[in-house]
Amino acid sequence: MSAIIEIKNVSKEFKVLNRREGLKGSLKDLFSRDYKTVKAVDNISMTIEQGEIVGYLGPNGAGKSTTIKMMTGVLEPTSGEILVGGNVPYQNRTKNAQEIGVVFGQRSQLWWALPLVESFKLLKDIYQIPDEKYESILKLYRSLVDIEPLLHKPVRQMSLGQRTLSDILAAFLHDPKIVFLDEPTIGLDVSMKAKIRTLIHALNKEKNTTVILTTHDMGDVDALCRRIVIIDKGKMLYDNDIEHLKGFFGSYRTLKLRIDGDMQEQAKHIQKELPEFSVSADDEWISVLVDEEKAKVIDVLGKLQHSYNIRDMQLEEISTEEVIKKIYEEGVQ
């Protein structure tokens, strides 16, 4: 294992014109030199190893795209150092381009009017992929997905799912060391999402390609990423394993109960009995958020069984989605 991406104390500032309100303000803006500096990315450091799949998460406008653009060499960091495969990306964009593949979920790099196979041939020449390598990767693709019907279909006639799939295949075509996937599953149906996840997973396994994945779909994260990085307002909030994340707010589990009698009333009783946990109730369930460091769920259940007639129960893990939501909303304490 060796580091493929090294980011050290990287910041990126943008100058934005201060806009004024109204027509008069707009006219004034024409001559204004009144800029304010916005920190899109603030002192981020991370090291990514060859072959990792890293989930890069954050709310909209957190600075994810800016970071990715810096890694691909489209933007130059204001301060700090970035090394991608030993290159400084913005100084060596063309060379760096040979080593990376990119998929932006919203846009396609394929030739709109041409059948997919023509786009592949074109990319083969542009990236100067040798014949035997090209053949072997096509063979791999054939074993992973059913691409025959796609190959001779013009890209403009494809469904969004087919197009995304094609775009991902195109990004992996020149066997890059790193592939950046920016919201690859956006707008896709459940089965297509699953297909795309399997494909990404298989390509990562097969080619040992490093994958940087930004997404808002926690299903992607759960299915693909071992490690996740969360940023918000340009600052790094979290960089660790996904298992670790679940224990991030203590090891919480939600115990859900259905009890005879009025739920709201009973919930108040239970709260009195268990003052250390938060108890809430809706029409169907009473939820007890159990901190497993203080008491075992089974003990709590045993205690309650003595005094209440429990008709039904459920035990819920706190989901990645909930944790991420909590982090976005509250930040890290």
For another protein, the binding residues (CB under 8 A) are: 12, 14-15, 40, 66, 69, 72-76, 78, 90, 93-95, 97-98, 100, 102, 104, 107, 109, 111-114, 118-119, 121-122, 124-128, 154
Nearer to another protein, 15 or 24 (CB): 15
Residue 122 CB, nearest approach to another protein (Å): 5
Residue 111 CB, nearest approach to another protein (Å): 6
Residue 124 CB, nearest approach to another protein (Å): 8
Residue 174 CB, nearest approach to another protein (Å): 9
Nearer to another protein, 96 or 266 (CB): 96
- Tell me, letter by letter, the H, E, C secondary structure of the chain: CCEEEEEEEEEEEEEEECCCCHHHHHHHHCCCCCEEEEEEEEEEEEEEECCCEEEEECCCCCCHHHHHHHHHCCCCCCEEEEEECCECCCCCHHHHHHHEEEEECCCCCCCCCCEHHHHHHHHHHHCCCCHHHHHHHHHHHHHHCCCHHHHCCEHHHCCHHHHHHHHHHHHHCCCCCEEEEECCCCCCCHHHHHHHHHHHHHHHHHHCCEEEEECCCHHHHHHHCCEEEEEECCEEEEEEEHHHHHCECECEEEEEEEECCCHHHHHHHHHHHCCCCEEEECCCCEEEEEECCCCCHHHHHHHHHHHCCEEEEEEEECCHHHHHHHHHHHCCC
Residue 118 CB, nearest approach to another protein (Å): 6
Residue 113 CB, nearest approach to another protein (Å): 4
Residue 229 CB, nearest approach to another protein (Å): 21
Residue 68 CB, nearest approach to another protein (Å): 10
The dihedral over CA atoms of 208, 214, 216, 219, expressed in degrees to the nearest 10, equals: 0
CA neighbor of 233 nearest in space, from 80, 59, 104, 106: 59
Nearer to another protein, 115 or 219 (CB): 115
Nearer to another protein, 179 or 324 (CB): 179
Cα 172–chain centre separation: 19
Nearer to another protein, 55 or 89 (CB): 89
Nearer to another protein, 119 or 166 (CB): 119
